[in-house]
């Protein structure tokens, strides 16, 4: 799902490597969201912190590099990606979401 696509542009290994690097940033954030909503130890400090950092990054753009910018650099549609994350239930607030941790 998050393999960067070069589209109809000529293949450039450095460009593709950079796109894949940014796509891995997205995969990491999605993994943090998944662990925060599905892990049996979801109330562990590191899981809670990583969940809320990823949540705020995806929903509010908090972070050094915005979610939209990372998607753009990965060659991935940001709104479609955000909707897919939301459709998978990874941005819900409720009993499966760890308590908010403010650091």
Q: Beta strands of the chain (E only): which ranges?
A: none
Q: In the predicted model, what is the mean pLDDT of residues 66-77?
A: 95
**Alpha helix locations (H) across the chain?**
13-38, 45-60, 67-74, 78-87
For residue 35, the model assigns a pLDDT of 87
Q: What is the pLDDT of residue 1?
A: 45
Sequence ranges of the domains in the chain: 13-87
Whether the pLDDT of residue 2 is over 80: the answer is: no
């Amino acid at each position: 799902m998050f393999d960067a696509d070069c589209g109809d542009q000529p293949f450039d290994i450095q460009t593709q490597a950079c796109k894949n690097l940014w796509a891995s940033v997205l995969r990491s954030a999605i993994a943090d969201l998944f662990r925060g909503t599905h892990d049996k130890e979801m109330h562990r400090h590191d899981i809670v912190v990583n969940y809320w950092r990823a949540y705020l990054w995806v929903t509010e753009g908090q972070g050094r590099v915005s979610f939209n910018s990372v998607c753009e650099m990965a060659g991935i549609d940001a709104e479609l990606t955000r909707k897919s994350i939301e459709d998978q239930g990874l941005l819900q607030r409720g009993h499966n979401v760890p308590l908010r941790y403010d650091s």
